[in-house]
Amino acid sequence: MLSRLRTSKSIALAALATAIGLTGTAVPATAAAAPLPSDTRTPSTPAVDPTGKFIVARGLDGSILFSRGTPFTNSHADFVSIGQQVVGDPTAVAGLEGTHVFARDTANQAITAFAPLGNTPSRFEVIPGLLISSEIAAVTIPQRGSNAPQVRVFARGLDDGALYTNLLIQGAPQGWVNLGGFLTSEISAALTGPLDFTVNIRLAARGSDSRIHSMVFNNTTGVVSPWTAVGDLVAFGNPTLSKNGGMPDLRGNEIFVRRAPDRALFTWNFDNPGWVNLGGVCTSDVSVSVSSDNGLQLHVSGTTGNVYLNRRPPGSTRFGGFVNLRGIATGNPVATGGAPQFGRTVADQVFVRGTDNRLYGRIQLNFVGGFDPYVALNGPPLG
């Protein structure tokens, strides 16, 4: 499908560049930028759909693993390998027409595959024009009028360490654009308000000064706010933005990250600026999910290797504290949230890689301690 769509004359690359304002074109460099530091590259993180339709992960053999979900039974099928050899973790996003999978291959190229609804992705193709040195962050652009389905992706350039973006229209990439900066972490991207015809995307990453930096990208006009340091906190690992999690409200206004060197969990809310210490000693990046009652939930692993949950009820401004969910995590936990779509009935659902390199999922049934046991997904082991 991608090859056919690339030949389409409906969207001219030159027109797109004009709309974006030519704010960034890649400048050839004499040598590659320094790679991302080790604290941002381990442990690995699966990608989950907030409505329960899929899980994507990297296999022990370096291939991409895909598990198709069945939302109305709150379950996921065994992992199957869909090929490729990738660096870092793959990601995926769902749109009205199906699932888009993205990854960085061993030649540092951005690659993508598409699967119509209910199918498994196959036939990967390169997104040309840029070599990358990070995982890919992707957001599905909400449908606006008669616009064709769109997905916007972000990645760190291999040569200069800057942030780049590309827009895929019905799967066809429109060209990479340089948004500047120098990144020293993976990228977090989330839709943010206002909820109107414009589509704003907030981005967060660590900069060369070890602080978190943020910008807002307007997908409708291409206007970009400057990269701005978020306070003076020195960060450890990768930041995570809150997302809508399959719910109607846009939530890209909060950042969660560990502080260096003590790895306590901190949060910043752009509606009420200032870093807030949530405590703990976290040995993983944080997963942020929206529970079925529209509360916000954080999942991290602690010094014992157990998975911990910290919940903020809807309407509250405070998190209740860490609750031990047990399990031994050897990767970053990731939670779907509890979006009640397609017959789904969970309050939340968290996944984590265990000591045997299998992915284990645990369903949260309610908000008074109701959890199902951890259940393993079979198939090839995770890397």
pLDDT digits (tens, 9 = 90+) for 159-183: 999 999 999 999 999 999 999 999 9
State yes or no: pLDDT of 324 exceeds 60: yes
The model's confidence at residue 39, banded by pLDDT at 50, 70 and 90, is: very high
The secondary element (H helix, E strand) that includes residue 14 is: helix 13-20
- For residue 4, the model assigns a pLDDT of 30
- For residue 34, the model assigns a pLDDT of 96
State yes or no: pLDDT of 26 exceeds 80: no
The answer to whether 66 and 54 have CB atoms below 8 angstroms apart is yes
State yes or no: pLDDT of 140 exceeds 50: yes
CA dihedral 156, 158, 164, 170 (to 10 degrees): -100
Percent of the chain at pLDDT > 90 equals 81
Average pLDDT value for residue range 357-383: 94
Residues 6+ apart with CB under 8 A from 73: none
CA–CA distances in Å: residue 285 to residues 43, 151, 152: 8, 25, 23
Residues 6+ apart with CB under 8 A from 293: 313, 314, 338, 347, 367
- For residue 145, the model assigns a pLDDT of 74
- For residue 201, the model assigns a pLDDT of 96
The model's confidence at residue 253, banded by pLDDT at 50, 70 and 90, is: very high
Average pLDDT value for residue range 87-105: 94
Q: How far apart are the first and last CA of the chain?
A: 30
- For residue 368, the model assigns a pLDDT of 84
C-alpha–C-alpha distance, residues 325 and 110, integer Å:
36
- For residue 352, the model assigns a pLDDT of 96
